[in-house]
Structure 1
């Protein structure tokens, strides 16, 4: 009746049904492009998952079947939530986004060095992703606090650009070869994490590849570009920056566009959301608040209201303060 006191034994027919349901989620146009992607989401080893689906697994099919059952249940729950929640707005062509796109277009067209500096939540990353997703030969790498040094930066670029080179000593050469083809543009997001030396290495990569380069980050990136206390040495780096833009906070028109994209027109809700967008985190926090407020409303079986928005923001703000 059961393998243990708490686990139900699956029959051969039930195991076969699990295989059918799992396979239906995999393939072109399905939820997962490959068995490997599905296995990662399920938390099951790729070889184990493949053997189970093929009916050739020599281990405990009961144990794997239990994991597949949990995974299928989670997938179904996510689908149900997605079908009832309002669709979040896609990329918004705000006034600030248009300004940033101009810098991106310039850098790619003229193989120039551009700079996008902005505060948190002004859509720097969203705009760069939009451009990379809609233009050919645009490559984007996102830096982390651990990516600051030259070697770490090169490793991150190789990973994000899906370059196959494994020899760290050849990373620079492989990156240049990748970018030297066509009218290429390399976008470095979160560039404030890079040291002045790493930024100088980027300058060299661009010079050799003869490609466009965009550095995007917060205001502290300017200090690194100027070289800190070594401004004379790094002056060539800063002087090579062509078109640049600094957006410290979203424009009123940006805020209005994002609020309208969420379908909000109640004056009280508009005022409250505009206030959120003028605080640290700006449009990003506004978007998260609306997603959470929509979920709260759906969970309560109610139409979204200012109460849901206030509650969502209060909980998100509390989580941010606790982090």
Structure 2
């Protein structure tokens, strides 16, 4: 799917991480869309299980990032409410820590608004807008690097990534292929991937 952000493409994340001391990834659900929800997720990622009002949570994150600058990567950011985005902007203003918002086009639309003045502060904070339509072979190589796949297998996964379902489809095929590999006690190969694809799509 089309995404504004970088979470699905590890190669681009690697470039962003180089400009910060370190980073952490926050994965959101619809129930995390409020100020309280996203702040509690961020605090959990940095090992602080703090509770309290919105102000207490925002201040806790601000204090932490002021002392320990990090790059915050927020996935599924389309769930965030305008108030949550505004508070993330405030955290960014005070701490100057980078914040990457990843998700579908709704993320950008919410920050842009319809040209209203009260969205200007949000929109003006966008440093880089990255619209990724489809993954490159380099992206696939970076994402599946831990599995020591050969070039033929990576090319096959890249073909799958360009189809409907994108990288999520590749991951599901890979998980099935890993089961085939474990059952046969052989190195992971393109044969396992092709068999997994056929099984997933009802072709066997």
TM class by shorter-chain length? 0.7 to 0.9
Task: Indicate the residue corresponding to 2:125 in structure 1.
Answer: 240
2:16 is the alignment partner of 1:103: yes
Task: Indicate the residue corresponding to 2:6 in structure 1.
Answer: none
Q: 1:100 to 1:230 in 2, by over 3 A?
A: same
Larger Rg computed on CA atoms: 1
Q: 2:86 aligns with which of 200, 216, 227?
A: 200
Q: 1:251 aligns with which of 136, 148, 168?
A: 136
Number of matched pairs: 192
The normalised TM-score by structure 2 is 0.74
Task: Indicate the residue corresponding to 2:169 in structure 1.
Answer: 285
Question: How many angstroms does 1:315 deviate by?
Answer: 3.5
Larger deviation: 235-244 or 154-163? 154-163
**What is the CA–CA distance in structure 2 between the aligned matches of 1:302 and 1:182, rounded to whole Å?**
45
What are the within-5 Å matches in structure 2 for residues 1-323 of structure 1? 97-106=10-19, 108=20, 135-136=21-22, 138-169=23-54, 170-227=56-113, 229=114, 231-255=116-140, 262-266=148-152, 272-300=156-184, 306-317=190-201
- Unaligned 5+ segments in structure 2 are 1-8
Question: How many angstroms does 1:202 deviate by?
Answer: 0.6
2:27–2:76 Cα contact (<8 Å) kept:
yes
Query: Higher relative contact order at CA 8 Å, sep ≥6: structure 1 or structure 2?
Result: 2
- Unaligned 5+ segments in structure 1 are 1-95, 109-134, 319-323
Secondary structure in 1 matching 2:67: coil
